[in-house]
Amino acid sequence: MFETDAELAELDALFQAHLANANPHMTAIVKPERRLNARQVARYLTGTKHVAFATVTSRGEPRVSPLDALFVHGRFTLSTGGEATKLKHLRRNPACSAVHMDGDRVAVAVNGVVEWITRDHIDHDEIHRVWSHNYESDPYSWGDQIIFFRIKPQTMWAYAFHPEEFPE
């Protein structure tokens, strides 16, 4: 877990803001007794988690692909090869979404915009170090001009059928 108290507070605020504006159907499912707090989410999302990652084509058509994600400082960080079609979509339109879910057990969803983590980005070295440690290899050695990015959330929510299974 990499999150500071301030980052956890920001994440909790995102969860609360989203659910404050949610429609009745969603709030009937993600009711208070099924919600996770930021500390529970950050602890659960330690290590590799798989997400369905969505972008939008130039014609406004949705596209989704599975990606590995690491949760670092309250943000999903991701990587892909430099020739991936999703990068073309994101460069044209930075809007993106991701969801990690395990059936009805748990879900964490985020909608936002891409933030590129280039080698000169202030957070690059830490993110690169986390990815290298997690995979026990340097992601840049994987070939194909690896690109790091993360989702800067505009909305985010988390759900668990049994939140007590997710310790703080």
Alpha carbon distance, N-terminus to C-terminus of the chain: 11
Q: How does pLDDT run across 59-73, given as a tens digit for each residue?
A: 999 999 999 999 999
pLDDT of residue 129: 97
In the numeric block, which tokens belong to residue 45? Answer: 């999302």
pLDDT of residue 144: 67
What is the model's pTM? 0.94
- For the chain, which residues score pLDDT lower than 50? none
Per cent of the chain over pLDDT 70 is 99
Is residue 98 a contact partner of residue 52, using CB atoms and an 8 Å limit?
yes
Distance, CA of 15 to CA of 22 (rounded, Å): 11
pLDDT of residue 1: 79
Residue 14, φ and ψ in degrees, nearest 5 = -60, -45
- What is the chain written as a DSSP string? ----HHHHHHHHHHHHHHHHT--HHHHHHS-GGGB--HHHHHHHT-S-EEEEEEEE-TTS-EEEEEEEEEEETTEEEEEE-TT-HHHHHHHH--EEEEEEEETTTEEEEEEEEEEEE-TTSTTHHHHHHHHHHHHTS-GGGGSS--EEEEEEEEEEEEEESSGGGS--
- Other C-beta atoms closer than 10 Å to the C-beta of 60 total 7
